Amino acid sequence: MSRLGPLDAGFLELEDTDQHVSAGIGVVAILGGKPGERDAFGRELGRRVAVDDRLRQKVRRGPLDISAPVWVPDTDFDLGHHLTWAALPQPRDEQALWQLVATTMERRLDRDHPLWHCTVVEELDGDRWAMILCAHHSMVDGVSGVSLFERLCDPPPGVSGRAPDPPQAETPQAQRRGLLHRATTVPAQAVRAAVAAPRVLARTALGMAPLVWNIVDPRRGSSLNGPIGRQRRYAVARVRLDDIHRVRAEFGGTVNDIALVAVTAALRAMLLARGERPRPDTIRVLTPVSTRSANARGRLDNRVSVMLPLLPVDLADPVDQLRAVRTQLGRLKHGSETGAGQTLIALAGLVPFGPMAWTVRAALRYPQHGIAALATNVPGPTETLRLFGSDVHDLAPFAPIAMRLRLGIAMLSYRDTLCFGITGDYDSTPDTDLIARTIPAAVTTLLDRARR
């Protein structure tokens, strides 16, 4: 058994607090050719899930949430709980695929089984097929999720493709030893927290103060913040990385800076189309920042902090937007907010789980008004992957929405393309396609300015 960390368990609390939330993150792989015969596909997938024990483990919660949830082997593991085949209606185009992605990802994963699912889409136009892979956010973040997908892919030429043997079920004696260990370590954790807290409390409070204020301040709302339903919309935009690099060469900045400018332009267009005035304090986005070291890239858990930048939607000129984004992100990266978030997560690991869980649950019930959207960027593979004998042509990311955020934009690079996966609440965000059209147009405008 292994215990879920505070952030991992927090995503379970996120679902438990709001019945409209599904905390699954995912990737849509578009591949060439055909997926092959179903039985053979299932046998091969069953072999490949042995790449990580977590794919055969389920969550077991402690009584009354006094102790942290733990991952335990699913002794009755059955691939049939995790593999679905689907067909698209004519003309079997990407628009139909994105609708299927939305309806697939809005469904919660079954906690009676390991928290992942694979949907195979047998036929996509242009002699292609697709795979929708979903995992609960308590199991992976963006970086570890991409690493897991790469391990499920075909091995490079010359590398053995044999997966490790399936993990053995934990014995009852080992389970009892684990329970005894946790019972004896809870008091020690409390003592460590009492010793450590005074040393970092002032520094953490100083960094957390602007984070908390930006979340609870009700004066900066927009139509992007509000209650959400159970249904989702999904759209995709693609931008050539070569175009982004040409913009960088002229104006400076990082790939993430320019991606956020494209998001800024899209959100500005959305507000204007809705008849809202884009103000400088209107759109604050939740931007996860990976704290994962290189040697922990394949470990399935969550290792992130957050930034809350204000996007300059009040500015119409994309070059001015880029300058503003670079200035603000630079200030946040060198400020205390990101470090404070990371410290708070570390301190949560020293606090007994029960009080921590009850505090998180209460905080999640508070209706935040200060954050308008999620924007997350994960670097992906640079070389072409193969999966079940097919070339992976495209990868599109999916990010869940929650906490009154009606819009989530996940960015994933693959080969020569940066893909934007846009998740919207079905009822309140019917204009996800406007965002998908505006993002590449914004990069094209920057590229035209760079060529002058």
- The answer to whether 24 and 371 are in contact (CB under 8 A) is no
Return all residues near 421 (Cβ < 8 A) that are at least 6 apart.
28, 234, 236, 396, 397, 398, 399, 409, 410, 411, 412
CA dist 428 and 352 (Å) reads 39
Treating both helix axes as pointing N-terminal to C-terminal, what angle do 255-273 and 241-251 enclose, rounded to 10 degrees? 100
CA dist 307 and 23 (Å) reads 20
Copy the structure tokens of residue 109. Answer: 């994963």
Residue 73, CB-side half-sphere exposure with 13 Å CA sphere: 13
Q: For residue 304, give the 3-state DSSP assignment.
A: strand
Residue type, 66: I
Closest CA to 75 of 1, 145, 126, 12: 1
Q: What is the DSSP letter of 56?
A: G
Instruction: Indicate if the alpha-carbon torsion angle 217, 218, 222, 227 is positive or negative.
Output: positive
Q: For residue 320, give the 3-state DSSP assignment.
A: helix
Q: In a 10 Å sphere around its CB, with 0-12 CB exposed, 13-18 middle and 19+ buried, how is residue 64 labelled?
A: exposed
Active-site position among 137, 334, 369, 393: 137
Tell how strand 417-425 and strand 407-414 pair up. Answer: antiparallel
- The answer to whether 127 and 33 are in contact (CB under 8 A) is yes
Residue type, 448: D
- The answer to whether 58 and 421 are in contact (CB under 8 A) is no
**CA separation, residue 126 to residues 86, 89, 419, 434 (Å):** 17, 14, 19, 25
The neighbouring-strand residues paired with 30 are 130, 394
Cα torsion through 271, 277, 282, 287, rounded to 10: 30
**CA separation, residue 79 to residues 22, 48, 84, 135, 276 (Å):** 21, 11, 10, 15, 48
Copy the structure tokens of residue 146. Answer: 């991409």
Copy the structure tokens of residue 75. Answer: 């002794």
CA dist 251 and 323 (Å) reads 9
- 117 given a catalytic annotation: no
- Catalytic residue numbers read 137
